[in-house]
Structure 1
Amino acid sequence: MTLAASVLSLFLVLAGCGNDDSSSSDAGKDAGGSAESVSWVANSVYPDSNHNGEGLKEFAEKLDEATDGQVKLEVQLGGALGYEGPELLSAVRDNAVPVSDMLTSGVAGDEPLFEIVTLPFLVQSFDEGKILNDIARPYFDQIAEEKWNQKILYVAPWPAAGFWTKNEVKSLEDMKGLKMRTYDKNGALVVEAAGGTPHPLPFSEVYSSLSTGVIDSVLTSTPTAVDAKFWEVLDYYVPANVTMATNFVSVNLDELNKLDKETQEKVINAGKEMEERMWQLGAELDKEKEAIVNENGITTLEPSQGFMDNLAEVTEHIRQEWLKGAPTEAQEIIEKFNKEVGR
C-alpha cells in the first residue's frame, strides 16, 4: 500500500468513528432533549419561615424531580441578592436574576394591571381570592410573556391583610393619625382615606421602624406578623380583610426557551402543581399564623360591621378611580369576577 493510500484509509476510519458518535448524540436529543443540566438562581425577599420562602424551596425540589435533575434552582432567600421587590419584574426581564418570587401588586408600578389583586375590599373571602386569580391569570400570563419576557410559573396567595397596631383600633376615629406601613399603592390609599399616614417600607425595614417610632402600625397579613415577631413591638390585630395579595414566581423567557420542549413542559407542569398546592396551604395558613401571634401576646380585635361599612364607604372612590385609569383588561376582569361571585 502506498503512503497516500494509507493516509486515506486512516482518514476514512476516523471519519466513520466521528459519524457514529454524532448519530448517537442526535438520537439522544430526539428521544429526550439535552443531557446537560441547568441551574437557575431563584430569588426571594422572604425568609425560609415564610410560606413563600418555603414554597420556593419546595418548588426547587419538585422541579429537580420532575426534570430528573435537568433543571435545578439555587434558592436565595431573605433578600440575600439585594433586591427589595419593586424592581423584580425588570430584573427577571433583563435576566439579572433568572427566577424570582415577587409580590404581584408590589411590581404594579411597572405593570398597572397587577394592582387589581389588591383593590381594597374587592375580595371578601379566600374563595373569592381564588376566583379573582383564576379570572385574571390568563391576562397576567400574556402581559408577562409579551411585555416582560418571562413566564409565570405559579401564583401563591397571602391571607387577607389587616391592621396591626400598638393601640386599640375599633373605628375610623381610631385610625386617624396612625403612621402605618403599607406594601403597595392601594394599601396606602386605604390608610390615607381612613385618616392615617402611609409609609411604603420594604419588609426588611419594618421591625426597626416600629422599634424606633418611625411607624406605629402595619397593614399586612398574619404570616408577615409572625416573620417580623410583631408581638415584640405591637399589641393588637384587626382582621379587616382590606386586601388579599398574591405573589408569583416567574422565569426569564430566554432561559426557559433554552430548554428542549419536553423539559419546558415539565417545568410548566411543575409550576401548575405548585400553584395548586400553595392555594391549598393558603386556606389553612391564616388561622395557623393568627394563633401564633395570639399565643405570643397580640390580641385580635374583630371589627364591627359598622366599622367595616365605614371602611368600605371611605374607600369606594379608590376602586372607582383606579378603574377609570386602569388598563382595558381590568374592566373585563372585574365584570367577570362580579358575575362569578354574584355582585
Structure 2
Amino acid sequence: MFTSFHRISAASLLLLATALPSQAETLRWLTQTQSHNAQYPVEMAAIEAIGATGVTVERNEFQVLGLNLADSLRLVGSGAFQLGTTQVGSAAKDDPFLEGIDLIGVSTNMDELKQAVDAYREAFNARLGEKFGVKAVAIWPFGPQVFLCNQPVETLDDLQGLKVRSFTASMSTLLKDLGATPVTLSFPEVYPALQRGVASCGVTSPTSSNTGKWPEVTSHLYPLSVSGSVQAHLVNLEWLNGLSEEQNAAFEASMAEMETGFWALAVETNDVAQSCSTGGDCPDDGLYTSYDMTLVPVSDTDKATVAEVAATKILPEWAARCEAGYPGCTEIWNDTVGKARGLVIE
C-alpha cells in the first residue's frame, strides 16, 4: 500500500520546510533489481543514503507488481512512481533519440561505452526533460551483450534462420541483416522461450544470463559483444525540484555514487559470470552458478561484420527514425557519441 503523495507549490514547500524542517518527502522507487542480482547491494546502499536525508523510500519491483519494464519512462513521467529503472533500448519505443546512447555495434566494450554515455548525457537529459518531464540521474550498463544459444553456433553465419531474442530496434536491424529472425522479449520471458524453442538464442550480459539461469536452457556462449545494454535510473523532475536544496544535492550525490558502483560491476563481474557459465573457476559466493556451456572463440571476421552493419545499416536506419520525430537529432549524435567514437552519420 503506497503512502499518499500530494504535489504542492514551491512557495508552499518553502513554508512547510521552514515550519517543519524534518518534513520528509516520499520516493516511490521502481526497480528491476532483485536480491540475487549483483546490483542489489549497490542499489540498497543508495536507498539507505537517501533515506538518511529524511526522504522516505518505498522500494517496489517490476516483477512483483506485474509491470512491464518498457513502461518505466511513462510510469515515472506521470508521477505514478518518482523514480524507476529502465532499459534504455526498450524505453526508446517512446522516442528513438534515446537509443542513440547505445546503438548496436557502436560501443562494444565498456571503455568505448563510457565515452559514448558521457558524451550523450547532456543531450539525453535535455530530451528527457523536455518531452517526458524526467531526468536520468544514473546511467549505467549491465555489461557486454553476448549470444547464448541452445544449439551449436560457431560464427554469426550460424544465426541464419534462427529466432533470436532482441530488445532494441537497432539489435533487430543487426539480426535481420545476419539472416536471423528477431523476437522481441523482455528478460523474464527469455528463459521459457529458450526452453520451449520459441527462441534459439538470446542476447544479454554474462552476469544477467547466469543469475537468470539461461545456461540451464542453452548450450553455447558466443562472447561477441554488440552493445552494453544501457540502463537508466529516471527521476520525476517535479518531485526532484520539490526537494530542499540539501536533499537535492544529497540525492544527486547518492545517484552518482550508485552509477559508479554499477559501472564497476559491469567491468568486474561479467568475466566471473562467464567463467562460471562455461565450466571455469567460479566463486562460492552464492551469487553465480557453475555450468558447463561451450565457450566459442570470437573471430575477427565477426567483429568486422558487426562494425560494418553498424556503419552501413544501423546508423542510417536509426537516423531516419530519429529525424522523423526530432529534426536535427543526427547532428546532435554526430557532435556527441559520433565524435567520441569517431563515427559520422552522413
Q: Which residue of 2 aligns with 1:258?
A: 242
* Equivalence map 1:1-343=2 (5 Å): 29=17, 34-65=21-52, 67=53, 70-77=54-61, 79-295=63-279, 296-315=291-310, 316-326=312-322, 327=326, 328-342=328-342
Query: How many angstroms apart in 1 are the aligned matches of 2:342 and 2:111?
Result: 13
Structure 1 range deviating more: 113-122 or 55-64: 55-64
Query: How many angstroms apart in 2 are the aligned matches of 1:52 and 1:145?
Result: 26
1:53 deviates by: 4.1
Query: How many angstroms apart in 2 are the aligned matches of 1:94 and 1:29?
Result: 25
Is the alpha carbon distance of 1:161 and 1:331 closer, same or farther for their aligned partners in structure 2, counting shifts above 3 Å?
Answer: farther
* Matched-pair identity in %: 24
Is the alpha carbon distance of 1:338 and 1:151 closer, same or farther for their aligned partners in structure 2, counting shifts above 3 Å?
Answer: closer
2:101/2:337 contact within 8 Å kept: no
1:330 deviates by: 4.2
2:120/2:336 contact within 8 Å kept: no
Query: How many angstroms apart in 1 are the aligned matches of 2:20 and 2:148?
Result: 52
Is the alpha carbon distance of 1:229 and 1:186 closer, same or farther for their aligned partners in structure 2, counting shifts above 3 Å?
Answer: same
Q: Which consecutive residues of structure 2, in runs of 5 or more, have no partner in the other structure? A: 1-13, 280-290
Which amino acid in the other structure matches residue 49 of structure 2? K
1:46/1:77 contact within 8 Å kept: yes
1:86/1:107 contact within 8 Å kept: yes
Query: How many angstroms apart in 2 are the aligned matches of 1:84 and 1:96?
Result: 14
Is the alpha carbon distance of 1:228 and 1:29 closer, same or farther for their aligned partners in structure 2, counting shifts above 3 Å?
Answer: closer
> Over aligned residue pairs, what C-alpha RMSD do you find?
2.3
Query: How many angstroms apart in 1 are the aligned matches of 2:73 and 2:21?
Result: 29
User: Runs (4+) of structure 1 moved beyond 6 Å?
Assistant: none
Is the alpha carbon distance of 1:285 and 1:52 closer, same or farther for their aligned partners in structure 2, counting shifts above 3 Å?
Answer: same
Query: How many angstroms apart in 2 are the aligned matches of 1:235 and 1:254?
Result: 48
Which amino acid in the other structure matches residue 322 of structure 1? W
2:43/2:258 contact within 8 Å kept: no
Structure 1 range deviating more: 55-64 or 155-164: 55-64
The TM-score with structure 2 as length reference comes to 0.83
Could you say which structure has the larger radius of gyration? 1
1:52 deviates by: 4.2
Is the alpha carbon distance of 1:55 and 1:193 closer, same or farther for their aligned partners in structure 2, counting shifts above 3 Å?
Answer: farther
Q: Which consecutive residues of structure 1, in runs of 5 or more, have no partner in the other structure? A: 1-25
1:102 deviates by: 0.7
1:237/1:301 contact within 8 Å kept: yes
1:170 deviates by: 2.3
Is the alpha carbon distance of 1:324 and 1:28 closer, same or farther for their aligned partners in structure 2, counting shifts above 3 Å?
Answer: closer
Q: Which residue of 1 aligns with 2:285?
A: none
Query: How many angstroms apart in 1 are the aligned matches of 2:106 and 2:47?
Result: 33
1:253 deviates by: 1.9
